[in-house]
Amino acid sequence: MLINRLAIIGVGLIGGSLARALKRKKACSRVVGYGRDMVNLQKAVDLGVIDEYSLTVASAVKDADVVVLATPLSTTETLLKSMRSYLRDDVIITDVGSAKGSVVDAARKTLDKLFPRFVPGHPIAGKEKSGVVASDADLFEDHRVILTPLPETSVNALDLVNEMWELAGAEVVHVSVEQHDEILAATSHLPHLLAYALVDCLAGMQKCDEIFKFAAGGFADFSRIASSNPQMWHDICFSNRKQLLKVLDLFDEYLNNIRTAITNDNSDELLKIFSRAKETRDRFTQMRNKCNDATE
């Protein structure tokens, strides 16, 4: 048995899916959940996602050998602080936050000599639906999980978190905290920002619902991520603010190149930009197809 007592702090889509995946693989004896919403926690018990729940974070983490933080990023520091004195000395703590710099800062500040037992993590998986009812044992199958260990991180803590995610079906990769936050700002946080901004722009137009009648599949796909959880994305934006604003400035330059080409009637330039983007996007499709082929 990999884990004896697993504490899931935040039994939503990600926390719930991890619990399901590990239970299916018989990788943990007992899963205890903690959250603020008792109805959701009872639902999680009814669905068999967790075995029991605690109404205090203290009793949830007490005796747990592994603690997984799966709550919105804004709660990380407070939760770590409130669980600190109840943690076992040999505990392993990990998280699933979409930004890593701010989480590492919070862990360093609150966990002191337990900091080496903390393994920062981020599964690249999700849906625009949230809550334990959307959780799914297959969510991480063939998805990447990024771990961003630090020089201080304990090797055995890292090994266990690695194995835990592999058992959940994921491919684990290790990158630095800085790299993670830079890459995710570009591939995930910025696209969410743009989708939210576009939909909000349309929402502000007269006869918005009339306009939607003429929206096709392209718009549906482009804007799907604007249906994501607002609180979660609010937290991500503030947690990864520095990298996000940096890539937003860069994006602005590229968008401005397009605008300038259109304004100045620069046909060659516009065609060059669109062709380069298409070529890049087609390469991404090929990479994805190759990955999917390899796992089939």
Binders of a second copy among residues 169 to 208 (CB under 8 A) are 173, 183-184, 186-188, 190-205, 208
Considering beta carbons, is residue 26 or 281 the nearer one to a second copy? 281
Q: What is the largest CA-CA distance in the chain?
A: 68
Amino acid at 148: T
Q: How far is the CB of 14 from a second copy (least distance, A)?
A: 13
Q: How far is the CB of 157 from a second copy (least distance, A)?
A: 23
The answer to whether 182 touches 243, Cβ cutoff 8 Å, is yes
Q: How many residues bind a second copy (CB under 8 A)?
A: 89
The answer to whether 93 touches 87, Cβ cutoff 8 Å, is yes
Residue 135 has a CB neighbour count (10 Å cut-off) of 24
Q: Write out the binding residues for a second copy, residues 41-100 only, by CB under 8 A.
A: none
Q: Which of 109, 230, 292, 295 binds a second copy (CB under 8 A)?
A: 230
Strand partners, 94: 68, 119
Q: Which of 24, 109, 224, 290 binds a second copy (CB under 8 A)?
A: 224
Considering beta carbons, is residue 24 or 278 the nearer one to a second copy? 278
The answer to whether 14 contacts a second copy (rule: CB under 8 A) is: no
Q: Write out the binding residues for a second copy, residues 241-260 only, by CB under 8 A.
A: 241, 244-245, 247-248, 250-251, 253-255, 257-259
CA distance 25 to 219: 39
Q: Which of 274, 289, 292, 295 binds a second copy (CB under 8 A)?
A: 274
Q: Write out the binding residues for a second copy, residues 101-130 only, by CB under 8 A.
A: 124-126
C-alpha pair distances (Å), 204 with each of 42, 71, 257: 39, 31, 26
Q: What is the CA radius of gyration of the chain?
A: 21
Amino acid at 195: A
Q: Which range touches a second copy (CB under 8 A), out of 1-9, 31-39, 65-73, 212-220?
A: 212-220
In the sheet that holds 144-147, the strands lie side by side as: 121-123, 144-147, 171-174
Q: Which of 287, 290, 292, 295 binds a second copy (CB under 8 A)?
A: 287
Q: Given the DSSP bridges, would you call strands 144-147 and 121-123 parallel, antiparallel or unpaired?
A: antiparallel
Q: How far is the CB of 191 from a second copy (least distance, A)?
A: 4
DSSP category for residue 137: T
* H/E run at residue 74: none
- 284 φ, ψ (degrees, to nearest 5): -60, -45
The answer to whether 150 contacts a second copy (rule: CB under 8 A) is: no
Q: Which of 55, 56, 78, 220 binds a second copy (CB under 8 A)?
A: 220
Considering beta carbons, is residue 151 or 204 the nearer one to a second copy? 204
